[in-house]
Structure 1
Amino acid sequence: MATFWRYVKTQLFVLLCGIVGPIFLVAYFALGADPTMKWMFWTGLLITAADVLIALAITGFGARSAAKKQALEATGVLALAQVVGIHETNTRINDQPLVKLDL
């Protein structure tokens, strides 16, 4: 269900960015499907279809990255880093100084 809501939010954003497609479709049907305005139908249909495909791709990518992040948070992962700075925080926990590391 979380993926569905992720898709809905993404689709709304993509349609907002590509609003010209649905506007062309509404205008085409509102003006009575005039043969001289046929370009408006096909352009609106193409832009709207592209919006849907883009939203599906973004949703799929986001769902995969969220699953990877959740797996890493659950199991943990070792990593190497280079410490470039250490700063004292003037806080002690169990008589041990707490420091801030810059990586």
Structure 2
Amino acid sequence: MEERKEKLSMKDLILLFFSTISARCWARLGLTEDEYGDFYQDLGEARLGIDTLDAVFNKIKDLVDEKVRREMEGVLSTLKLNYFHQYQKSQKKKEANQT
């Protein structure tokens, strides 16, 4: 007898997307290795991912329970803060190289 596979709901797929993109954002911030084991920074890509996660969060936040909402908020806040720090570091590096 064939086993039935449980289908993911749209909400589950969106949460999976959120998790996947947040992991990629950490890698693009240069703070973790990417899926290929490389470390490099691409702040433009990190910003695109963070902005996308922000939009997704605003769309789904009322559809998830409080615990999941708080976790998503935490991930997003931490990514934004780390983006700010990495951006500041990159600007200081550029200024130092220009002098």
More strand by share: 1
Same fold, TM-score > 0.5, yes or no:
no
Structure with max Cα Rg: 1
